[in-house]
Chain A
């Protein structure tokens, strides 16, 4: 455990070095947030009935930007290099541990950047942006607590997807295209392009069945109170359920992939 804490701490330190990059990324996200909100406000001006209130959708957009780094944009570069060079076979004792290692790495790898982006974004969205345009605090302490749990689950879910991408690298052709595909799906079906509640009614059941909803959309809606405290546990169940499913898939694929690599010679 201390090993992983050390990795997270080291990553924090490394990221702090790049102060300008951090500010730059923040600026870009605030920019995108403001543009998205302006567009949504213009749409909302046309109609008073919408499945999600303007205030909640505004908060939704800010939360999406704040937790943007949860999206698995790329596979773990080190693991990718290990697989490509074939040295991964030396890491093997049992395939089960290999997946676990990748998963732990993914968690550590995600946590630091997400927090470093999230904290200033929250400050800006709640305190700097003028009222009505920004992120309102959660409607109750319970909502906040449940959101925190949900956020933690979102990290695990994201890590599970990242690990899956690493696993896919063991099959070269799929491995190349999968990160882009996953990132695209996560962006679209996570509610970054359009808030999921605004999709047509017929699409809703499909969207909320997918795992991607659990990364940005569902936690955000718990925070704004759009999903009530009573329903929040279902969100957590959704997230954990998918995390488990992806973990099982990942472990199974890992053992098969390893066998394949060993047979093929890497």
Chain B
């Protein structure tokens, strides 16, 4: 197992080296990415400037939710590149090459590329989160919850990308649907879930448990709800989701072995 970790970090190292070889492009892409994500928050700011409140939530409160979700998404986005591009990898025949190596193909996909430019979104998320935290009275418990929340949400987003990759085993063409859940889910989760319709909230609580990993912990951190066990279990749902996704992916690998795709 430790050998797998060591190999993963080697993959990360060569990925970083490869990206830094194109220094100018990398700098531009990172800044561009930062701008794109900063613009999203600017939009929210503009709406608050005009309307003042969102269903009883202030901008600073929304900023907490926004920040944690964006950090979680950036982490998943940066590390999940292999799964995100899996359709292309499969089509090019590079997945067969991974199967020809005496290593877990999942490990190889994890190490496929660590997209440094996602630091743009990550730093934007951090800035927003820091701005939001200034107004919060933190305790060790809520701080820990924040970390769990980010970790759990990140696992959830990663799981979505893995499911997206899994669908590529059956058909390359459906991949766009998943954007609704990854990018769409991220977009929706930047706002308090309370503002959405019940069926929408239900979907994002039970099926893709974004509400559990990100919204309810945020409520507890903001003091809107007393801290309870559901707030700890919430992020765990994200981890469970990821585990299930990997299981589905393995099923996909088995199918690939028998149909050759």
- Cβ of A184 and Cβ of B32 under 8 Å apart? yes
Interface string of B169-207 (1 = CB under 8 A from A): 001011111111001100110010001110010000000
- CA A199 – CA B44 in complex, angstroms? 10
- Cβ of A24 and Cβ of B175 under 8 Å apart? yes
- CA A198 – CA B52 in complex, angstroms? 13
Which residues of chain B are near A187, meaning CB under 8 Å?
39
Which residues of chain A are near B28, meaning CB under 8 Å?
173, 176-177
- A interface secondary structure, majority: helix
Which residues of chain A are near B49, meaning CB under 8 Å?
200
Q: Which of A35, A41, A198 contacts B184 (CB 8 A)?
A: A35
- CA A50 – CA B52 in complex, angstroms? 12
> A4 within 8 Å of B by Cβ?
no
Q: Which of A20, A42, A173 contacts B173 (CB 8 A)?
A: A20
> B102 within 8 Å of A by Cβ?
no
> B101 within 8 Å of A by Cβ?
no
- CA A47 – CA B24 in complex, angstroms? 46
Q: Which of B35, B39, B46 contacts A200 (CB 8 A)?
A: B46
Q: Restricting to B25-48, which residues have a CB under 8 Å from any CB of A?
A: 25, 28-29, 32, 35-36, 39-40, 43, 46-47
> A149 within 8 Å of B by Cβ?
no
- Cβ of B191 and Cβ of A44 under 8 Å apart? no
- B interface secondary structure, majority: helix
The count of residues in chain A whose C-beta lies closer than 8 Å to any C-beta of chain B is 37
Which residues of chain A are near B179, meaning CB under 8 Å?
24, 28
Which residues of chain A are near B35, meaning CB under 8 Å?
181, 184
- Cβ of B200 and Cβ of A38 under 8 Å apart? yes
Q: Which of A31, A42, A198 contacts B50 (CB 8 A)?
A: A198
Q: Which of A25, A35, A41, A44 contacts B176 (CB 8 A)?
A: A25
Which residues of chain B are near A32, meaning CB under 8 Å?
180, 184, 187
Q: Which of B39, B47, B53, B180 contacts A31 (CB 8 A)?
A: B180
Which residues of chain B are near A46, meaning CB under 8 Å?
51-55
- Cβ of A177 and Cβ of B32 under 8 Å apart? yes
Which residues of chain B are near A18, meaning CB under 8 Å?
173
Q: Which of B43, B177, B197 contacts A24 (CB 8 A)?
A: B177
- Cβ of A193 and Cβ of B175 under 8 Å apart? no
- CA A18 – CA B47 in complex, angstroms? 38
Tell me whether A21 and B176 are in contact in the complex, defined as CB-CB below 8 angstroms, given that A46-B54, A184-B35, A193-B39 are known contacts: yes
Shortest beta-carbon distance from A50 to chain B in Å: 7
Which residues of chain A are near B40, meaning CB under 8 Å?
193
> A171 within 8 Å of B by Cβ?
no
Tell me whether A176 and B173 are in contact in the complex, defined as CB-CB below 8 angstroms, given that A39-B191, A198-B47 are known contacts: no
Q: Which of B32, B173, B183, B200 contacts A180 (CB 8 A)?
A: B32
- Cβ of B173 and Cβ of A43 under 8 Å apart? no
Tell me whether A31 and B32 are in contact in the complex, defined as CB-CB below 8 angstroms, given that A21-B176, A24-B176, A39-B191 are known contacts: no
Q: Restricting to A14-64, which residues have a CB under 8 Å from any CB of B?
A: 18-21, 23-25, 27-28, 31-32, 34-35, 38-39, 41-47, 50
Which residues of chain B are near A50, meaning CB under 8 Å?
50-51
> A194 within 8 Å of B by Cβ?
yes
- Cβ of B53 and Cβ of A184 under 8 Å apart? no
Which residues of chain A are near B197, meaning CB under 8 Å?
38
Which residues of chain A are near B32, meaning CB under 8 Å?
177, 180-181, 184
Given contacts A35-B187, A44-B51, A198-B46, 14 further A-B contacts (CB under 8 A): A21-B175, A24-B176, A28-B183, A32-B180, A35-B196, A46-B52, A173-B24, A176-B25, A176-B28, A177-B28, A180-B32, A187-B39, A193-B39, A193-B43
Selected A-B contacts with CB under 8 Å, 15 pairs: A20-B173, A21-B174, A27-B180, A28-B180, A31-B184, A35-B196, A35-B200, A42-B55, A44-B51, A46-B55, A50-B50, A177-B28, A180-B36, A184-B39, A198-B47
